Amino acid sequence: MIYKKITIALLISVLLSGCAYFQKKPRAFTYVPWKKREAEHRKITAWKMAGVFSITYKKKRDVASFDWQQKPDGYTINISGPIGIGSARVVGDSEGVKFWRTSEEVFAANTPEQLMQEQLGWQLPISDIRYWILGMPAPKRVDYKYLDRYGHLNFFKQNGWQVRYSEFRCEVKKGVDLPQLIELQNKDVAIKIKIKKQSVY
């Protein structure tokens, strides 16, 4: 009976190791100069992303899930979680931004930052995150930046925020490496974004 158990255990071990052997290995990163990486990232005009994020504000931490659809002429962000609003939808375009708490309760503002400040009491820099979430600064002044050994943007400061990336994934279709874990922090708010699904166009 003992030998039978040992045999079964060995068989399971061999099968598991075999599965691991035949699994497709993740693509290794290669060095690409940052200017070239940035140029490729700026060609991305539309994308879909989903994941979770946490916000720490006044020593309180909330976690929520999100899905974000970005198009050249606007965006739609669905948020599900506490952060003082429960489920919500943010829709923005060239004419401004609207914020739904329910299907009927809607608020409008000229910018998403103004809207967040009015509704939540703090600002989520959506206009800049639209670029940061792709692994690049917004098209404005960067105070400081640091690259890793592959040429990924690892850390930078912009518009009063510190932005840090610690995980990347290769988007085969576009041939770009996209961040999977993003940390944002200013003097009042700390935000951590974990990307679980993404497609870029």
Domains and their CATH numbers in the chain? 34-200 (2.50.20.10)
116's torsion region: left (phi>0), alpha (psi -120 to 50) or beta? alpha
pLDDT at position 27: 56
Q: Summarize the confidence of residues 13-40 as an average pLDDT.
A: 64
Paired with 89 in beta bridges are 78, 100
**Whole-number Å distance between alpha carbons of 164 and 156:** 7
Q: Please check the confidence at residue 173 and state whether its pLDDT lies above 80.
A: no
Paired with 164 in beta bridges are 155, 183
Q: Summarize the confidence of residues 141-163 as an average pLDDT.
A: 96
**Whole-number Å distance between alpha carbons of 30 and 189:** 34
- For residues 23 and 17, is the Cβ–Cβ distance under 8 A? no
Q: Please check the confidence at residue 185 and state whether its pLDDT lies above 90.
A: yes
Instruction: Give the pTM.
Output: 0.82
pLDDT at position 57: 87
Paired with 62 in beta bridges are 55
**Whole-number Å distance between alpha carbons of 103 and 101:** 7
